[in-house]
Chains A and B, each alone.
Chain A
Amino acid sequence: MSRYVIAVYVDNKPGVLTRVSSMFTRRGFNIDTLTVGEIENPAYSRITISLSGDEYTKNQIVVQLNKLHNVQKVKVLADESAIRRELMIIKMKNNPHNRAEIMAAAEVYKGKIIDYSVETISVEVTGEPVKIDAFIELMKPLGILEMCRTGIVAIERGSETMFSQEL
């Protein structure tokens, strides 16, 4: 089992995300995260899917995605060349016993305090998913009230792009 990130250019139309996610259910593929957003050309959206699976699963996902009419381009981003980022917002209890520790951890992890109230502190952390995982581990004993993660977005280093080589 390896971890993969697959980038997918799709038509920016209603229902396209359903078509993509329905294919995963239908074929029995499990995904870890899925993010979607518009790109510079409003006609398209980019879906970033991260998953764990074997070579067979990865290949099947690519070819099955390519069969969908609204999918324009699919690329597996190589683990070593992909820059992967995720954003998390985490809401912590604010009290004299944990306040300093949260602030210190946020500083080390280059997080931002984005909200501060009498009872809560909200921190934004961005980075590799492992970094986010590590930050959550630090926060667990301090009383997590709520958290949310965006899922992974990824792009390749250097001049390599989605369209620089034929699949």
Chain B
Amino acid sequence: MKLTGSQIVTECLIEQGVTDVFGYPGGQVLNIYDALYKAGDRINHILTAHEQGAAHAADGYARATGKVGVVIATSGPGATNLVTGIANAMLDSVAMVAITGNVPTHLIGKDSFQEIDITGVTLPITKHNYFIKDINDLAPCLREAFQLAKSGRPGPVLVDIPKDVQLATAEFTPEGVVPRLPERKSRDKRFDEAVKLINECQRPYIYIGGGVMSRNLGDEIIALSEKIDGCIGCTFMGLSSVPDSCNRFLGMQGMHGHYASSMANKKADLIIGIGVRFSDRATGNTLKYAESAKIVQLDVDRAEINKNIPVDVALVGDLKDSLSRILEAVDKKERPEWKSEIEELKKEEALIEKTNLENAKGLHPKYIFDVINKYKTAETVVATDVGQHQMWAAQFTRFTKSRKFISSGGLGTMGYGLGAAIGSAIGTGEKAVLVTGDGSFGMNLNELATAVTYNVPLVIVLLNNGVLGMVHQWQNLFFGKRYSNSVLDRKTDFVLLAEAFGAKGERTDNVEDFERLFSEAMKSEGTTVIEVLINEDEFVLPMLPPGGSIDDIIVSIPKEDKQ
């Protein structure tokens, strides 16, 4: 059948199994929005308050569901407003397709109204992008965009469509959902070396990241840890891929990682990195990272091998394949000494946590997360923004299912959380929890309008300490307590603000009230904002100082040194 470019866009989306798209209309996508209107019974469009919110929503939707997130924006400012969201998806390897309109081809290059070379702008922050000049390329490129976004290491792909291409017509035949591209299998020689290293090691540390989440390999990871009697630690991006109830799981390691996890990483004689990229936030000083350990790395992206940390053996290829073969080939072996060492580390960690709770100035955020853990279900997504609250969430939230922790890791995007939480709630149909801070929330709180309009089931826990907490912490520790521009002397009343948007607003400064408010909010419909007042001098601990190694770990800070 002959369709217009705009119809081809909507038909391709529907054909690729897309049920929800996020976006914002404008001059150069009017035709696409007209086609969406006509296809409204087959595809749902969520209008956000700002294109950035739409991009983060598509990202959160993709992370929570494992599907490809889709965002649509107009040319010029619409497209540039997507940029942070696209970069965020790129750095966290999130499958996303961004569709932008552009001025008609005869106006391209003339600095026309709302004309921006968005393929040029997004070149370094997309897996690939397309500028469609010919209507006959439109459907094949859209299909390829979906395929690239979800294949191998996932990532964002942008398709820029000039208005005249949206209006032109071409023959269109619906096709099926494009499959992921097949992955190469890791080489046998390397495979044998990896198995040998695992069999011969004494202190194995299974180190999992976003790749494990992406391929849903939590069960295989636990099976491996049991077979080799090793412990499991994760990167920030690996959180929730293995349930916290797993006794071998030590949590996140790195700059603000769990003490036991970071120390086990240091003491290990073999690190088995699976879907990790050894980011600077995870390794600290690379020269001192894992000095006494051999490293085996499993990853789908060959470019991650030896990029940040030189490894001894690398298996490049589909993680599911590599991991299941490793799992089968390695010897079952008890490692009781390592196990008891780990138990010692856990005891040390418990003592450190106890000290830190005692040193708290006022309500320690851990108690907030205890309440959240108590009232959320296995299906509840916990999204965060970026800063202290994010690290506390990473340390204290407990998960039982994969894809339930949604947060901006690589880019560290303040303002990511609200959009992402909305996207994940819409994607899963479940109530979501957003943990945010007063700084991050201020960046994109306009999306409260979206949450209220679509009656999104959402509980927003706003930890308000009146400062840009993480900046404040660094300034306290490393800049002689000179709090340059980190004190938010704002007069915002978040309860009134929530109500102005049509949401429910609550405020508390104690955990008893919080428990009551949170449990009620989890039961009620729609969106609730609970502002929790906490002390500005509470620190995220442990902490590896910037550029430092695990030897420089700061585990606690006396109460009197905090102001």
A63 to B306, CA, bound (A): 11
Q: Which of A19, A56, A68 contacts B306 (CB 8 A)?
A: A56
Check A64 against B131 for contact (C-beta < 8 Å): no
Given contacts A15-B119, A15-B131, A69-B148, contact A60 B303 (CB under 8 A): yes
How far does the alpha carbon of A68 sit from the alpha carbon of B129 in the complex, in Å? 11
Q: Is the CB of B123 within 8 A of A19?
A: yes
Of the candidates B123, B301, B303, the one whose C-beta lies within 8 Å of that of A18 is B123
Task: Indicate whether A66 sits within 8 Å of B128 (C-beta atoms), given known contacts A18-B123, A60-B307.
Answer: no
- Is the CB of A26 closer than 8 A to any CB of chain B? yes
Interface residues of B in 288-334 (CB under 8 A from A): 301-303, 305-307
CB atoms of B301 and A67 under 8 A apart = yes
- A: number of interface residues (CB 8 Å): 16
Report the Cα distance A71→B389, complex, angstroms: 42
Contact with A along B123-151 (1 / 0, CB 8 A): 11001100100000000000000001000
Q: Are B128 and A69 in contact (CB under 8 A)?
A: yes
Number of A-B contacts (CB under 8 A): 26
Could you tell me if B306 and A59 are in contact, using CB atoms closer than 8 angstroms?
A: yes
Q: In the bound complex, how far is the Cα of B120 from the Cα of A23, in angstroms?
A: 12
Contact partner of B303 (CB less than 8 A), chosen from A15, A63, A69, is: A63
A124 to B144, CA, bound (A): 46
Interface of A is mostly: helix
Whose C-beta in chain A lies nearest to the C-beta of B127? A69
Instruction: Judge if A22 is at the interface, Cβ distance under 8 Å.
Output: yes
> Which residue of chain A has the shortest Cβ distance to B128 in the bound complex?
A69
Which residues in window 82-137 of B have CB below 8 A to A?
119-120, 123-124, 127-128, 131
> CA–CA, A63 to B127, complex, Å?
14
* Distance between A39 CB and nearest chain B CB, rounded to angstroms: 22
**Is there an interface contact between A63 and B119, defined as CB atoms closer than 8 Å?**
no
**Contact A66-B302, Cβ < 8 Å, known A15-B131, A60-B307:** yes
Q: Considering the chains assembled together, what is the distance between the CA atoms of A66 and B184 in angstroms?
A: 14
The CA-CA distance from A18 to B301 in the complex, in Å, is 22
Closest A residue to B157 by CB, please name it. A69
Residues from chain B with Cβ under 8 Å of A15 in the complex: 119, 131
Tell me the residues in window 50-89 of chain A with beta carbons closer than 8 Å to chain B beta carbons.
56, 59-60, 63-64, 66-70
- Across-interface contacts of B307 in A (CB, < 8 A): 60
How distant is the Cα of A18 from the Cα of B119 in the complex, in angstroms? 11
Q: How far is the CA of A22 from the CA of B307 in the complex (A)?
A: 19
Q: Sorted from nearest, which 4 A-B pairs have the closest CB atoms?
A: A63-B303, A69-B128, A26-B124, A63-B302
Q: Which residues of B contact A (CB under 8 A)?
A: 119-120, 123-124, 127-128, 131, 148, 301-303, 305-307
Residues on A close to B: CB < 8 A? 15, 18-19, 22-23, 26, 56, 59-60, 63-64, 66-70
* Between-chain CB contacts (< 8 Å), 15 pairs: A15-B119, A15-B131, A18-B120, A18-B123, A22-B123, A26-B124, A56-B306, A60-B303, A63-B305, A67-B303, A68-B128, A69-B127, A69-B128, A69-B148, A70-B128
